[in-house]
Each structure stands twice: as C-alpha cells, then as structure tokens.
Structure 1
Amino acid sequence: MSPTGKNLHWAVDKWLAPTPAMPARVVRFCRSQMHRRCVCVEAVRPNGMLSIFFFRHDDGSWNVFPPAQARPAMVAWRNA
C-alpha cells in the first residue's frame, strides 16, 4: 500500500464507483521502458462505457494523471 493510502482500489472506487450491478474491470495493463505503470479500467454506465487510465507514481499512489518526468538539473557547489 502506498504511504498516501491512494492504492488502485481507492482510485477506482473514487472515479468509477463500481457496484455489483455495474462492475469495473481492468482491460489493459502497461509498463513503459521507464518502469512506469498504468492500467486502463472500464465500467458500464447508464449512458455508455467509461474508460479511465490510472498511473502509478513513485510514492506508490495511483492517479488519473501521469507522474512528472525527471528533468536534468544543474547543481552548483560553493566551496568556502
């Protein structure tokens, strides 16, 4: 479980609110070359099918937005 408590089950419940009559299911699992994980979960809604991608962040939480990419940084050290 992630330190923030935002596991995949929590995220699916928040965004899709599945019920026994309208369950949600994982339809796609992806892992990129950068070891980023994402899953596509879909659920039947009264007005049609709803699909949402969830992305796993470095802290273990799952969100509907992808994690920020690490960018090059320059560091200056001052010797005194």
Structure 2
Amino acid sequence: MQASGISLRRLIDKWLGSNLAAPARITRLRRSLTCRGGCVRVDVARSSGPVSMFFFRHDDGCWCVFPPSLRLG
C-alpha cells in the first residue's frame, strides 16, 4: 500500500469518514519499539457505539494503520 504523502487528517477521513457528527479525539501515545516514529489513537463516537483506531508514523514520514516493521540488531 503506497501511502506516501497522505496526511494524518486525510488518512483519518479515509478510514473513519469526514462527516463525523462529533469531533474526533486524537491521543498521542508514548514512543516504544512499535511506536518509535510516532503513534496516535483516534476515538470517534458513532451511533452504533465508540470506534478507536491506531495510526503509526513510519520512518519515511507516512502514516499507516499498521506499525512499522521492527529492525533488530
């Protein structure tokens, strides 16, 4: 999946929709092995119930819904 150049805002709109009745709550998570480049959790309220998604920033600067691969050694 080529996501280069897609902003976090556009990626959130793509996955969760841009016509949200309530604003999304974005929480930056602490850096760890999985979130070394950056990681945010996005929470939105839907009529069917709350939805949360994680977005990961990769070494090339793009945001994705999957974490970057670990480089060991």
Task: Give TM class, smaller chain.
Answer: 0.7 to 0.9
Percent identical among aligned pairs is 46
**TM-score after normalising by structure 1:** 0.71
1:61 matched residue in structure 2: 62
Q: TM-score, normalised by structure 2?
A: 0.77
Aligned length: 70
Shift of residue 20 of structure 1? Answer: 5.2
Deviant stretches of 4+, over 6 Å: none
Over the residues paired in the alignment, what is the CA RMSD in angstroms?
2.3
For the structure 1 residues 52 and 36, does the alpha-carbon distance in structure 2 shift closer, same or farther, using more than 3 Å as the test? same
* Alpha-carbon contact 1:16-1:24 (below 8 Å) kept: no
Unaligned runs of 5+ in 2: none
Determine which structure has more spread, i.e. the larger CA radius of gyration.
1
